Amino acid sequence: MAVVNRGHRPLSPHLTIYRLPLSGSMSIMHRITGVGLGLTALLVVWWFLALSAGPGSFGFADGLITSWIGGLVMIVSLGALWYHFFTGLRHLVWDSGIGFDRAQVNRSGIWVLAAAGVMTVITLIAAF
């Protein structure tokens, strides 16, 4: 269906003009991290399947995952895991009807970002 602008009226502004609030950006990131974690889970399952398939398959899979790009994917996935976890806790609090004031929404958003960052760093320190 074609959009016709009769009378040379102004069109609605494009989405890039609007500035999303923190909660809107975090909502989009929650969805993106969920998809990313699903893809990372498939990567880990592939690694386990390669482990059971034999030394040749495992050597290739392990080499890929332990390479610098595989390590980067795992570190980003770790951050996404903690972000998704804390955003999920935030939604559980919201499900109880608490924290809907604009200031509380912004404060809990900053808390989620800080907690995810701190836990990512703590997990990396503990792992290495």
pTM here is 0.83
How many residues in the chain?
128
Contact 95, 86 (CB under 8 A): no
Q: Distance of CA 89 to CAs 2, 76, 93, Å?
A: 43, 20, 6
Domains of the chain, CATH where assigned: 21-127 (1.20.1300.10)
Q: What is the pLDDT of residues 86-123, one digit of tens each?
A: 999 999 999 999 999 999 999 999 999 999 999 999 99
Query: To 10 degrees, the CA torsion angle through 15, 21, 26, 27?
Result: -60
Query: In this structure, what token pair is assigned to residue 126?
Result: 């503990």
Query: In this structure, what token pair is assigned to residue 10?
Result: 């102004």
Q: What is the pLDDT of residues 14-48, one digit of tens each?
A: 767 788 899 999 999 999 999 999 999 999 999 99
pLDDT score at 2: 56
d(CA 80, CA 33) in angstroms, rounded, equals: 5
